[in-house]
Structure 1
Amino acid sequence: AAAGAFSEFSLGVLVLLAFLMVLLCVVTILGNILVILAFVMDRNLRHRSNYFFLNLAVSDFAVGVFCMPLYIPYALTGTWHLGRSLCKLWLVVDYLVCTASVFNIVLISYDRFLSVTKAVSYRARQGIMSSPAIQMVAIWVFAFLLYCPAILFWEHLAGHSVVAADQCYAEFFDNWYFLLCASTLEFFVPLLLVSYFNMHIFHNIQRRQRRGRASSPSSEAEDSVSSLTRSWRPAVVANRDKKIAKSLAIIVCVFAICWAPYSLLMIIRGACQGTCVHNFLYEATFWLLWINSSLNPFLYPLCHMRFRMAFLKILCPKKFATLRSVNTPSF
């Protein structure tokens, strides 16, 4: 396994690495707790599309509170000291929540895609919670089925285990065929879907802008008030859609940067049985994958004004009260 790639460093470097790992863990936990608290404290956030952000925050929170802390000693020493049972539990949770995080990103992008391209039918379903609830549960079911049965039963079907007693990694770690199929479903297909949704949103906005310019009133004698129903509302909608497209573009890029190196190296490493990829390089891409869970609380909710105001209300209540009093008209 790649764990222990850092153990060859000096004590000073190990201390620095330990500090950075713990810092990343804390940032991941606090960032996603903030998203969860925003839902608890602010009822304005509890509508259909924002529940997908909550689902994402729960999966990313589990990465920070469970996966990272248990892995840090293993990464630094190269030895698993917590026993085989806890190793299995750690593997199941790690693969489950990381895969669920990816699938939640796809679900959020799909929801944004519908809100822009099929706005009328999307708004009509805003009050219906059954469909989002089913989708949110389905995310976790699919994420579990992708890796967890293999983690739990691979050694029983093979008749023996290839993992040493002081190590902790999946039995299929060097099985190239399984890794290729699983990575395709976990990363490559989601990346294509998220990219497609984003490009479709971008082209949809461009078409709206072209139609708006073509149909703009040219007669000066036209009633000015009537001209402002026609121009103000489409401009607001277009501006909102631009923000959605921009936030999704950032999401696609960050998702690809964080997941592509690990997914590719995992397949290459499995094909050559670990001989062609240095453990340190693989370990670095493994942590890059987890960094995505620490960035998500900032990439997603902070793209929306309601979340920003909810965060401000939690972190700086005095400033929030002042801002609200300034923006509230007095009659």
Structure 2
Amino acid sequence: MEASPQSPVEAPTIAFHHRVIVASVLAVFTIIGLFGNTLVIVAVITTKKLRTVTNILVVNLAFADNLACSSLPFQIAGLLSQTGRYPIPEIVCAIVGGVGFTSVCCSASTLVAIGFVRWYVITRSIRGQQGLNTPKNIAKVVLIIWMESVALMIIPPVLGVGTLGYYKYYGLCTLTDTNPLAYVNVVFQSAVIITALVLTFTFYGLILRHILQHNKQFRDKFADDKATGSSSAEAQKKNASSSTSQDSSPPMIKAINQKEIEITKNVFIVVCLFMICYVGSSVNFVIPGASLSTLYGYVITMSNSVVNPIIYGLKHPNFREAFKRILCRRRRPLERVSN
């Protein structure tokens, strides 16, 4: 039915130039994200140093980010549509919206699992593959994460809480504005992600408390040794032997492997960036009503799928070395062909 000039029924849309800007940024994200996350996966597979239990979860995180980046070209198609409809069959748009939520939920759940593994390894002084810290157990965790993420994406729409499809105002494949319960679904999704972030920060808080307690015990131990007579030869010999044991198989804080702490710091940076990218933009999604800031907030959310490989390249020496080796290996055949 056509709308009359006196009583227009056509839903408003965000100005086309804003959608072009967002589409352009998403196109860049697609290229960088697919390249960077694929590089992370290849690096872990081909580099022996990177084949650790924690990096199984890092690969899962990269795969989820790759999935999100793979859906961006379909979002770009919707953003650039000027017909008021999705240019590809609507079912594709619904799938793209579902993939977007699934990847974000999977990323958040994977960060919880990484935080738990870091806490378990450091507080239990785990060396190598022991207890829960084995590839088989972590593979089970990865399977559970994907099952949970898919279920949380499917169940609400099946129950009528929100409908996945084309949101004309934004030009995005997400929850449509035709279902009155769409806002409930948005709040539910946000609650899932925020709960995951709270759990993640809880594990890192426990890690920090554990390290601080061991630091205090370490300082108190050597303060007591010094007070009981560090000037005597026997005390000096005792201090020397304790210093030697500190370097070889040391107690207290040295029992916490420094390498494990560095890995934990790097992963914590990933967690913080995820929080900044998601929480900062999710406020716009939770507040009722449509706004231009929500569209740009979506860009901030999707940027999280791009930054993780950059962090690994800058902060993790083993990843940095693996990236250089992989890229140089690909460059040499091209140089030979040109010569």
TM-score, normalised by the number of residues in structure 1: 0.78
Pick from 16, 33, 37: which aligns with 2:38? 33
1:306 Cα shift? Answer: 2.7
Are the structure 2 counterparts of residues 152 and 71 from structure 1 closer, same or farther at C-alpha, using a change threshold of 3 Å? farther
1:248 Cα shift? Answer: 4.3
**Structure-2 separation of matches of 1:248 and 1:299:** 9
Matched with 2:68 is 63
Check conservation: 1:205, 1:238, Cα contact below 8 A: no
**Structure-2 separation of matches of 1:51 and 1:3:** 45
Larger-Rg structure:
2
Check conservation: 1:3, 1:283, Cα contact below 8 A: no
Matched with 1:92 is 98
Check conservation: 2:44, 2:51, Cα contact below 8 A: yes
Matched with 1:329 is none
**Structure-1 separation of matches of 2:43 and 2:153:** 31
User: Residue 228 of structure 1 aligns to a residue in which SS?
Assistant: helix
**Structure-1 separation of matches of 2:236 and 2:268:** 39
Pick from 130, 146, 167: which aligns with 2:152? 146
Check conservation: 2:166, 2:175, Cα contact below 8 A: no
User: Residue 110 of structure 2 aligns to a residue in which SS?
Assistant: helix
Matched with 1:183 is 190
Deviations 1:139-159 (A, max 9, x none): 11110111223346639x99x
Matched with 1:124 is 130
1:134 Cα shift? Answer: 0.9
Matched with 1:230 is 246
Check conservation: 1:114, 1:122, Cα contact below 8 A: no
**Structure-2 separation of matches of 1:58 and 1:18:** 22
Q: Tell whether 2:139 aligns with 1:133.
A: yes
Check conservation: 2:312, 2:320, Cα contact below 8 A: no
User: Residue 175 of structure 2 aligns to a residue in which SS?
Assistant: coil
1:126 Cα shift? Answer: 7.2
Say which structure, 1 or 2, has more relative contact order (CA 8 Å, 6+ apart): 1
Q: Tell whether 2:324 aligns with 1:315.
A: no
1:251 Cα shift? Answer: 2.8
Q: Tell whether 2:13 aligns with 1:7.
A: no
Deviations 1:124-183 (A, max 9, x none): 23773321111001111110111223346639x99xx9977x974324585333332332
4+ residue stretches of structure 1 with deviation over 6 A? Answer: 161-164
TM-score, normalised by the number of residues in structure 2: 0.76
**Structure-1 separation of matches of 2:200 and 2:312:** 14
1:88 Cα shift? Answer: 2.0
Matched with 1:102 is 108
User: Residue 16 of structure 2 aligns to a residue in which SS?
Assistant: coil
More deviation in 44-53 or 237-246?
Answer: 237-246
Letter in 1 for 2:16: S
Letter in 1 for 2:297: T
Are the structure 2 counterparts of residues 26 and 221 from structure 1 closer, same or farther at C-alpha, using a change threshold of 3 Å? same
1:292 Cα shift? Answer: 0.7
Letter in 1 for 2:77: P
Are the structure 2 counterparts of residues 130 and 82 from structure 1 closer, same or farther at C-alpha, using a change threshold of 3 Å? same
User: Residue 136 of structure 1 aligns to a residue in which SS?
Assistant: helix
**Structure-1 separation of matches of 2:62 and 2:218:** 38
Check conservation: 2:270, 2:311, Cα contact below 8 A: yes
Q: Tell whether 2:283 aligns with 1:264.
A: yes
Matched with 2:232 is none
Letter in 1 for 2:88: L
Q: Tell whether 2:304 aligns with 1:292.
A: yes
Query: CA RMSD for the aligned pairs?
Result: 3.4
Matched with 1:74 is 78
